[in-house]
Structure 1
Amino acid sequence: MGLLVAALLQATSVCAEPAWLDYKLARPDGSHISYRLLSRQPATQPTTLLVAIQGSDCNSVAHNQAIQQHLINVLPAADVLVVEKYGLDATLPHSNSPERPDCPAPYLHHDNPIQRTRDLSAVIADLLRTQGYRKIVAVGGSEGATVAMLLAANSSHVDATIAFSGGGRWFRDDLTHSVMASDMPAAQKPRAAQGLTQLAQKIVHTPMPDLRMSNHGESWWKGMLGLDMLAVLQTVRTPVLLIQGGRDDDASPQAALALVAQLHQAGQRNVDYLPYPTLDHRLAAPDKTSRFAEVVKDMNVWLRRQGF
Structure 2
Amino acid sequence: MSRALALLLSSLMLVSGCTSLQRLSHGFSDRAPEPLAFNYPDGGSSIYYDFSLGPQAQPETVVFFYGGSGCPSWKYVMPDYVRGFALPARVFVLNKRFVSDRSTGLFGCERGFHASNHPAQWAADYSAFISARLESLEWQPRHVVLVGVSEGALPAARVARTHPRVTHLALIGAAGYSMRRSLAVLKDKGAIGFDVAAGAAEIATAPRSLDKAWYGHPYRWWSEVLDLDITEDLLALDKPVLLGIGEADQSVPVESARFLAEKFDAAGKRHLSLKIYPGADHRLNAPDRAYRDEFFATLAHWLRQAPAVPARSAAAEAHARP
TM-score, normalization by structure 2: 0.76
The DSSP-based 3-state class of the residue aligned with 2:268 is: coil
Q: Does the CA-based 8 Å contact 2:149-2:174 persist in structure 1?
A: yes
Q: Report the equivalent of 1:105.
A: 111
Largest Rg, 1 or 2: 1
CA distance in 1, matches of 2:204, 2:90: 38
Which of 58, 76, 80 matches 2:71?
A: 58
Find the counterpart in structure 1 of residue 238 from structure 2: 237
- Which position in structure 1 is the counterpart of 2:167? 159
Q: In structure 2, give the amino acid aligned to 1:199.
A: G
Q: Does 1:298 align with 2:280?
A: no
Deviation track 1:192-240 (CA, whole Å, cap 9, x = no partner) reads 4xx3134225535743412333443344322322323221212211111
Q: Structure 1 residues 253 and 41 mapped into 2: Cα distance closer, same or farther (>3 Å)?
A: closer
Q: Offset at 1:20?
A: 3.6
Residue type of the partner of 1:220?
W
What does residue range 273-288 of structure 1 map to in structure 2 within 5 Å? 273-287=274-288
State how 1:13-28 maps to structure 2 within 5 Å.
20-28=33-41
Measure, in 2, the Cα distance between the counterparts of 1:244 and 1:140.
12
Deviations 1:111-146 (A, max 9, x none): 123322211111111112110442211122211233
Whether the 8 Å contact between 2:145 and 2:168 is mirrored in structure 1 is yes
SS at match of 1:103: coil
Measured in 2, the distance between the counterparts of 1:52 and 1:75 equals 17
* Distance across 1 between alignment mates of 2:86 and 2:212: 39
Which sections of structure 2, spanning at least 5 residues, go unmatched?
A: 1-29, 309-322
Q: Do 1:177 and 1:250's aligned partners in 2 also have CA atoms closer than 8 Å?
A: no
C-alpha distance in 2 between matches for 1:238 and 1:200: 35
Match of 1:146 among 148, 154, 158: 154
Question: What is the match of residue 144 of structure 2?
Answer: 136
Question: Is the Cα contact below 8 Å between 2:180 and 2:227 reproduced in 1?
Answer: no
Q: State the one-letter code of the partner of 1:171.
A: M
Aligned pair count reads 276
Residue equivalent to 1:7: none
Picking from 62, 87, 93, the partner of 1:76 is 87
Deviation >4 Å, runs of 4+: 40-43, 181-184
CA distance in 1, matches of 2:135, 2:292: 33
Between the aligned partners of 2:90 and 2:183, the Cα distance in structure 1 is 35
Give the SS at the match of 2:98. Answer: coil
Partner of 2:130: 124
Partner of 1:5: none
- Name the counterpart of 2:228: 227
How far the C-alpha of 1:62 sits from its partner, in A, is 1.4
Q: Does structure 1 residue 211 correspond to structure 2 residue 212?
A: yes
The alignment partner of 2:197 has SS state of helix
Structure 1 residue aligned with 2:14 = none
Change (3 A) 1:86 1:125: same
What is the percentage of aligned positions where both structures have the same residue?
27
Output aligned runs, 1:27-46, within 5 Å. Answer: 27-40=40-53, 44-46=57-59
Query: What is the letter of the counterpart of residue 298 of structure 2?
Result: D
Given residue 299 of structure 1, which amino acid in structure 2 is its aligned partner?
L
- Rounded to whole Å, the distance in 2 between the matches of 1:202 and 1:250 is 21
- Alpha-carbon deviation of 1:25? 2.7
2:62 corresponds to 1:49 = yes
Q: Which amino acid aligns with 2:285?
A: A
CA distance in 2 between counterparts of 1:208 and 1:125 reads 30
Q: What residue number does 2:273 align with?
A: 272
User: Higher helix proportion, which one?
Assistant: 1
Q: What stretches of structure 1 of length at least 5 have no aligned partner?
A: 1-16
Task: For 1:300 and 1:206, locate their aligned partners in 2 and report how far apart those are by CA, in whole Å.
Answer: 45
Matched, 1:115 2:121: yes
| C-alpha contact 2:183 2:196 (8 A) present in aligned 1 | yes
Would you say the 8 A contact 2:117–2:221 is kept in 1? yes
How far apart, in 2, do the equivalents of 1:41 and 1:273 lie? 27
Shift in Å at residue 77 of structure 1? 0.9
Instruction: Give the direction of change, closer, same or farther, for the CA distance of 1:149–1:88 in structure 2 (3 Å limit).
Output: same
Q: CA RMSD in A?
A: 2.7
Partner of 2:318: none
Q: State whether residues 18 and 39 of structure 1, in contact with CA within 8 Å, keep that contact through their aligned partners in structure 2.
A: no
Q: Quote the Cα distance in structure 1 between the aligned partners of 2:88 and 2:31.
A: 11
